[in-house]
Amino acid sequence: MIGMDTLYDAEGVVAYALVFILAAVPWIELLVVIPPGIALGLDPLAVALLAFSGNLATVYLLVYAHHSLNSVWKRFRMGEEHRPSSGKKKKVMNIWDRYGLPGLALISPIITGTHFAALIALGLGSKKYPIVLWMSLSILMWTIVVTVASYYGLESLKHLLE
The pLDDT tens digits of the residues spanning 12-60 come to 888 999 999 999 998 888 889 999 999 999 999 999 999 999 999 999 9
- pLDDT the model gives residue 81: 53
Highest mean pLDDT among 7-11, 28-32, 52-56, 97-101: 52-56
Contact indicator for 17, 133 with CB cutoff of 8 Å: no
pLDDT at 161 > cutoff 60: yes
Higher pLDDT, 130 or 6: 130
Q: Describe the crossing of helices 12-24 and 29-39 by its angle, rounded to 10 degrees.
A: 160
Higher pLDDT: 3 or 38? It is: 38
Chain centroid, CA 67 distance in Å: 20
* Number of domains observed in the structure of the chain: 1
Read off the pLDDT of each residue in 118-130 and give the average, rounded to a whole number: 89
Q: Give the dihedral of Cα atoms 45, 23, 142, 88; nearest 10 deg.
A: 180
Checking if the pLDDT of 79 tops 80, the result is no
Q: How confident is the model at residue 89 (pLDDT cuts 50, 70, 90)?
A: low
> What is the helix (H) or strand (E) element at residue 40, kind and residue range?
none
Q: pTM of the prediction?
A: 0.80
Q: Which domain holds residue 73?
A: 4-161
pLDDT at 82 over 80: no
Q: What is the pLDDT averaged over residues 145-149?
A: 97
Q: Is the dihedral of CA 154, 15, 53, 30 positive or negative?
A: negative
* Range with top average pLDDT, 61-65, 73-77, 90-94, 142-146: 142-146
47 vs 80, higher pLDDT: 47
Q: Please check whether residue 40 is in contact with residue 14, taking contact to mean a CB–CB distance below 8 angstroms.
A: no
Quick one: CA torsion of 56, 57, 61, 64, rounded to 10 degrees?
60
- Helix H or strand E segment including 11: none
Mean pLDDT, the chain, integer = 85
